[in-house]
Amino acid sequence: MNRTNRRAVLVCLCLAGAGAAALIGTRAIAEPGKDAKPGQPEMKLPPGWTQEDMNACMTAGMPGKMHEHLAKSVGTWQGKNTMWMAPGTEPTKSDCTSTIKSIMDGRFTICEASGDMPGMGPFKGFGIYGYDNAGKQFQSTWLDNCGTGMMMGTGELSADGKVMTWNYKYNCPVAKKQVIMREVETWTGPSSMTLEMFGPDPKTGKEYKVMQIDYTKKS
């Protein structure tokens, strides 16, 4: 979704070069030469590796049910945005649009968001979202034209699949330290969603509701 401010990337250091070979060449190892192109060398297990090791890498690289959940949001969404600059202040309201696409054969989604920040001008944002099979965790990374930092976070999906709660870390220029922003995405219908963001007041440190976006998916 238009995850205004968030991001996270966990890298599995499963021997990058050998892992890439695993993802590309497991079938060639199991059935030597069957799918190999003319003149292409046969893929072999890295030294010390077992077929079980290779299969573990293959399993970690295959999209599954959690990736299907992320893919539910693919499409274009129109949003009604309400934002509070500080606790107890009058909110500002604006419209926004988020376009979500699936990439890497269903392994990740990307979001491109645009809108208007009242009193600040046009807003543009970009996010990447995924689920790490090896780490058993949703991850996301977010950047936009309101700052120079990238927010990174992890998400947890409710048992009924209707609520995703993200926790993002970012550096607050007012508090002058790293803080956490909580974001709750709630599916309110087949083509509707509410996104709520909660963050610390940089003056008191107490959490308050920063933003709410009510989304409707275009047919």
Identity at 20, one-letter amino acid code: A
Quick one: CA dihedral 65, 66, 67, 70, positive or negative? positive
Higher pLDDT, 11 or 209: 209
Lowest mean pLDDT among 28-42, 114-128, 174-188: 28-42
Residues near 7 by beta carbon (within 8 Å), at least 6 away in sequence: 127, 128, 140, 141, 142, 143, 150, 151, 152, 153, 168
SS3 32: coil
Q: What is the CATH number of the domain that holds 107?
A: 2.40.128.20
149 and 166: one domain?
Answer: yes
206 and 158: one domain?
Answer: yes
Number of structural domains the chain divides into? 2
Decide if 140 is inside a domain: yes
Q: How confident is the model at residue 37 (pLDDT cuts 50, 70, 90)?
A: low
29 and 76: one domain?
Answer: no
Lowest mean pLDDT among 1-15, 73-87, 136-150: 1-15
CA atoms within 13 A of residue 131's CA, in its CB half-sphere: 18
124 and 143: one domain?
Answer: yes
Report pTM.
0.80
122 and 197: one domain?
Answer: yes
In which domain, by residue range, is 79 found?
65-217
168 and 69: one domain?
Answer: yes
Higher pLDDT, 44 or 197: 197
Q: How confident is the model at residue 179 (pLDDT cuts 50, 70, 90)?
A: very high
26 and 133: one domain?
Answer: no
39 and 132: one domain?
Answer: no
Decide if 86 is inside a domain: yes
Decide if 197 is inside a domain: yes
86 and 187: one domain?
Answer: yes
Decide if 144 is inside a domain: yes
